[in-house]
Amino acid sequence: MRRTLQHPARLVPLAFLGAVVIGTLLMMLPAARVEPGGTPFVTALFTATSAVCVTGLAVVDTATYWTGFGQVLLTVLTQIGGFGIMAMATLLALLVSQRLGLRSRLMAQAEDSSLRLGDVKSVLGRIALTMAGFEVVIAVIVGGRFWLGYDYSVGKAAWYGVFHSVQAFNNAGFALFSDSLVGFVGDPWICLPLTIGVIAGGIGFPVLFELFREIGRPSTWSTHTRLTVWGGISLLCFGFVSLLGLEWNNPDTLGPLGVGEKMLAAFFQDAMTRSGGFNTVDVGAFHSESLALSTALMFIGGGSASTAGGIKLTTFFLLAYVILAELRGEPDVVIGKRRIAETTQRQAITVALLGVGLVATGTFALLESTTNVSFEAALFEVTSAFATVGLSTGITPGLPTSGQLILVVLMFIGRVGTIAVGSAIALNTRRRLYRYAEERPIVG
């Protein structure tokens, strides 16, 4: 047991599991539910898992099912999940003892492999300040808009601003409106701040820190930052143009909107597809091509060591460079002026293939659990759960208990899986003193 707790790759899922269990028990309290009586176990488990794993999928209407206490619980669980159980534990240890032990530092390194042992204390502080800074600014803008533009009381506007700000930066996507943010489809003062929060939270803390230091000198950026920034921008542009074109005349989504509103809605929805979870148009009414595009973007996800999910941008674009090098017949995979280690290439392949396997298995299991769901809807929902996005075609509340539990497992694996797998691979590197004779099986 002691050996298990000392291993970061095992600590990550245990810490998240503990948060889910505690969150489930709290969500089951009668005080968390509007209707009399406690919340059913599966509903509480699904909601707590979705919050801790910063997903945003829901089986009940967040706006009407949960009391103010329940909504505060959602906010706290989302913040804990976004910050990372390990970082929270390390900060608490710092507050109590005023110093970090080796074990706590290794725990923090499991969340962010770019950290060095001597930097962990200051980096964790900067993470907290960065999150707080973004969330406060977004909350002020969004809350001010609710107060000045929609005649909300000061208290209600402030609460709505804080709630949606936390959801945005942590890439969760719970909303205090029954239709998510459909009622604000043409309001840039609501949509743009939340979009910026989602993008900032989905970049990853190592990249944010490097951008703060070297924003004016892209030539000095690390390979990781270049892949994340330029890759993220390229996917954002591609998704925006594609979604705008595919849904331009769809009468159930962008069709009835003006040109400016269409562009805003397409940009907002494209950003949310990468991990945000909010929606200003009915995702369930998307054309099949748009659903396929969204599924692919959700699977890729955001930056490493961020609040986003998916296999991550660096994994996807690193594999693209691997394919390009193979097609060119080059012996090394080179990005910029840096050669990528073979171990890193194998890690990327492992993470991507495990992601494909989990999504395929989850889709098959979900289809087996119910006969009322189409393949594309099941694939979309499973990918949304695995990539901790939170977008839905509307089928999740109507799924049987077995189907909802499948999504719970996928949300949990999707949140802790890449961290645990990456840590396990990095900590399990071995060197053999011998090599077998080489043979080349036929490929293709």
| Under 8 Å between Cβ of 181 and 280 | yes
**What 3-state DSSP class applies to 35?**
coil
Q: What angle do CA 295, 298, 301 make, to 5 degrees?
A: 155
Q: Residue 398 has which token pair? A: 């109507």
Q: For residue 288, how far is the Cα from the chain centroid?
A: 23
Residues 6+ apart with CB under 8 A from 324: none
| Under 8 Å between Cβ of 214 and 220 | yes
- Give the integer Cα–Cα distance in Å for 404 and 42: 8
All structural domains of the chain with their residue ranges? 2-427
Indicate yes or no: pTM above 0.85.
yes
Q: Residue 312 has which token pair? A: 């991550």
Residues 6+ apart with CB under 8 A from 206: 112, 114, 224, 225, 304, 305
Type and span of the H or E element at 335: strand 334-335
pLDDT in tens, the chain (444 residues): 455 444 555 677 788 899 999 999 999 999 999 999 889 999 999 999 999 999 999 999 999 999 999 999 999 999 998 887 656 544 444 444 444 444 444 444 443 444 454 456 676 778 888 889 999 999 999 999 999 999 999 999 999 999 999 999 998 989 999 999 999 999 999 999 999 999 998 888 778 888 888 877 888 888 888 999 999 999 999 999 999 999 999 999 999 999 999 999 999 999 998 888 899 999 999 999 999 999 999 999 988 777 888 898 999 999 999 999 989 988 888 888 888 888 788 888 988 999 999 999 999 999 998 878 899 999 999 999 999 998 999 899 999 999 999 999 999 998 887 666 655 555 555 666 677 777 778 777
